[in-house]
Amino acid sequence: MRRREFLVTSAAAVGASGCVPGFVGAPSPGRPIPSRSQLWWQRAELGMFTHFGMNTFTDREWGDGREEPKQFNPGRFDARQWARAARAGGFKYVILTAKHHDGFCLWPSRFTEHSVKNSLWRDGHGDVVREFVDAMRAEGLRPGLYLSPWDRHERTYGDSPRYNDYYIAQLTELLTQYGPIVELFFDGANGEGPNGKKQVYDWPRVHATVRRLQPNALMFSDAGPDIRWIGNERGTAGEPNWCTVNPALVPYAGFDAPQVGEWLQHGSADGTVWRPGEADVSIRPGWFHHEAENARVRSTENLIELYFASVGRNANLLLNVPPTREGLFHEVDARRLAEFGSKMQDVFADDRAAGARVHRTTGGVELALRAPAAIGMVVLREQIERGQALSRYRVEALVNGGWRVVSRGTTIGHKKIDRFALVEADRWRVAIEESTGLVRLGDVGLFARERPAGGGAG
Ligand code: FUL
């Protein structure tokens, strides 16, 4: 930690909602800040992942590339149903597996025969990617795409220059034929055995292609460059969790070192680039739909816990919901999403900090509520458009004339949510204890919900 310095706005500058409004000023020199695309993405908080493809029909998780395209035939395919379910759940963007490791393409790529064009679906004239992007946009959601670098079907795979040309050609199709893509998800998996084909990916060329064709698209991988993997597939972020990283620690996608998981979970306080984390996890045990798992869909409470473990710790949640062989979200999954959406609205419906008087103190923000309220959850924010700097804080309530600590934490970033046993008080404060630079706190929310007994995100 370099210095201890912070900034909060005066009571006079506080809006009617009790929020601390945006501080107008230049970011500290050299401090990384988000791009406009990253800022939209972080504020979106909730993304949906949709694993759909050959594995849906073969009941597998990783196909070997020898599948018969005719097997792909989703009889009741309806991407609009996926989009409506995603919207009901409060999701803002959705990422489809345009190509998974088996190499089967959900769009009629000109560069392979291993695609929907040789399936029975829509007599070979269908295009899942087309219908997907159209359906998402029609429901006000932004589409993203997953294009697996590992390809077990393509014959050029392992002949590095030739396969790289193939991969770039497919990427170019996806980036030029389907309108704006919010996120490209570059998966790091590569299950080639010791005698398997070794492909050296040309990541600089991949990144340059995306930047050239769609400068606003965000690229995800363990090495970013725009969004980093959170380091596990459980949907949970670390504490602390910085939006900044040191790019030398994870220099390219698939880079392996014993501490990579730790670095991805936490980011770096002294990171030189802005690379917020995304926590991916499936609503079911598998990434693809399997009939046998219809009774193992996460409960609504569990989904809410996932939100606290990811978004509540400054990461986006990317929740996978896999369509069935019919081409629809299963009714159980769709119902869970709707319940999740409505329960989340209830949880955050009554912000007791609304209308509070907000005071400037030497080391944080103090809120005076209109009346005492039983609070069990605080929502904290930094104004990340100016960067992230807070590294240690505590939250206190004035109880019987003395300040009682109700929670302590490290980083905040876009959002940090702390839950604790209900405390009734009309005065609350956030005390900044340590930072790496000037702290600009965003609005503080106070809610009645308290930590449920037991039961983590699992
Ligand atoms: C992994 C893949 O191997 C899984 O099949 C899935 O796509 C997951 C999101 O990433 O690396």
Instruction: Decide whether any atom of ligand 1 lies within 6 Å of the 191 Cβ.
Output: no
Whether residue 217 contacts residue 184, with contact meaning beta carbons closer than 8 Å, is answered with yes
- Which atom of ligand 1 is closest in space to residue 191's alpha carbon? 3
pLDDT score at 28: 55
Amino acid at 370: R
Closest CA to 373 of 346, 395, 354, 393: 354
Ligand 1 centroid to residue 228 C-alpha, Å: 15
Is residue 443 classed as helix, strand or coil in its secondary structure? Answer: coil
Contact indicator for 167, 160 with CB cutoff of 8 Å: no
Best of 187, 234, 264, 284 to mutate for ligand 1, by most ligand atoms within 8 A of CB? 187
Q: Establish whether residue 208 lines the binding site of ligand 1, counting it when its CB lies within 6 angstroms of any ligand atom.
A: no
- Cα–Cα dist 214/180, whole Å: 7
Atom 11 (ligand 1): residue with closest C-alpha?
189
Residues of the chain with pLDDT under 50: 1-27, 453-458
Q: For ligand 1, say whether the CB of 187 is within 6 Å of any of its atoms.
A: yes
DSSP string, 54-120: HHHHHT-SS--S---GGG---TT--HHHHHHHHHHTT--EEEEEEE-TT--BSS--TT-SSBGGGSS
Return the best residue to mutate from 233, 234, 289 for the ligand 1 pocket (most ligand atoms within 8 A of CB): 233
Residue with the two structure tokens 């008087």: 357
Closest CA to 153 of 112, 196, 97, 202: 112
Closest ligand 1 atom to the C-alpha of 280?
Answer: 9
Separation of 154 CA from ligand 1 center, angstroms?
18
- What span, in angstroms and rounded, lies between the C-alpha atoms of 221 and 223? 5
Instruction: Report d(CA 161, CA 115) in Å as an integer.
Output: 22
Atom of ligand 1 nearest to the CA of 100: 7
CA 209 to chain centre: 23
Q: What is the pLDDT of residue 29?
A: 61
Closest CA to ligand 1's atom 10 = 187
Q: Is 280 touching ligand 1 by the criterion CB < 6 Å?
A: yes
